[in-house]
Amino acid sequence: MMFYPLYKVKSITLPIVSVLLVSITLLTWQVFHPKRLVSLNITSLLLGILWAVHITIKSHALAGNPLAFLMVSLLCILFISTIAFINDFFAFILNTLPVALVIFWFAHGENTFRFALAIALPTLGIAIQSIIQKRNESFTYRLMDKLQEEKNRYSDLSMLDPLTGLYNRRGFQNRFDSIIEQSSGPHYILLLDVDRFKSYNDHYGHSMGDQTLMRVATTIRDAVRSRDIVSRYGGEEFLIMLTNVNSDHALQSAERIRSHVYGLQISHQFNDDESDYLTVSIGLTPLDNAGLEQALILADKALYDAKNRGRNKTLTANMPEQG
């Protein structure tokens, strides 16, 4: 286009120099400022106008009817635009439209069909490619969203006990760490064990035992606040963290759990001579600067003492029995 071989007129126009300078400037800008993107639509329109001005200047400089020059110019621009804006249909249109208008103007109605066909074919190709790309991007985004949902779901499941739906030990630790980071307390640790659960399983069967654990888990969860952590610590043992409570409220919460479980009136024949309802024993201790492990040791000792004192009791570490 700068040096068209069929004519002796050879000149480098200001617009073609501007195209070169704009291209180099934008390329340099992107190299040194990769996160500050330049508008592709504005760039494509600017370059399209510069190409159109260049073709206008060259057409005036050529003697006679410059149809051959116009056709070659159009094909060159379509080729460049297709390579540069193959992934952006709107940018492609903005880049080629000024050139197409100038060429139709200088053609004076001659070879209109050829010019239109030359423009229509690559435009149609870019349009189809753009539609396919958008569908692929939409599918990819949907797939990524689905994978993220699955990842989150499996991450949640890995922190939940499959039988009761409560947190498992991993889930408890995760919530515990989050709460400790956000609040200094006071917090209380509560260990709960279903009394004589082995004999319950032996007498009623493991299927009934599982159903009972699910009922107990639901009762515990309903008896505390949503901000408290309730987890299945293992087997028939549950671990609860009561957050931001004083000693009186912590003891009241533990007693409420114990009484609500007994209030389920789940029959439990734990030997041949006696029949009663299912009960739980609870060990309670404050969470102090000694940390979770020490609190668990103290709560476990209180729980063991509650068992030895007849079960269906709440004991706070180093305090008299309740219930």
Residues classed as catalytic: 236
Are 216 and 261 within 8 A, CB to CB? Answer: yes
DSSP structure string for 66-132:
-HHHHHHHHHHHHHHHHHHTTT-HHHHHHHHHHHHHHHHHHHTTTTHHHHHHHHHHHHHHHHHHHHH
Strand order in the sheet with 229-234: 229-234, 237-242, 187-194, 280-287, 314-316, 321-322
Are 322 and 314 within 8 A, CB to CB? Answer: yes
8-state DSSP, 37: P
244 dihedral zone (left: phi>0; alpha: psi -120 to 50; beta): left
* Paired strand residues for 77: none
Alpha-carbon distance of 315 to 117, in angstroms, equals 90
Give, in order, the Cα–Cα distances in Å from 2 to each of 11, 65, 69, 165, 273: 7, 18, 11, 74, 109
Q: How many CB atoms lie within 10 A of CB 320?
A: 6
Are 203 and 269 within 8 A, CB to CB? Answer: yes
How many Cα atoms are found within 13 Å in the side-chain-facing hemisphere of 252?
A: 6
Can you say how many angstroms the Cα of residue 234 is from the centroid of all Cα atoms in its chain? Answer: 31
Contacts for 128 with CB less than 8 Å, ≥ 6 apart: none
Give, in order, the Cα–Cα distances in Å from 8 to each of 3, 4, 12, 59: 9, 8, 13, 13
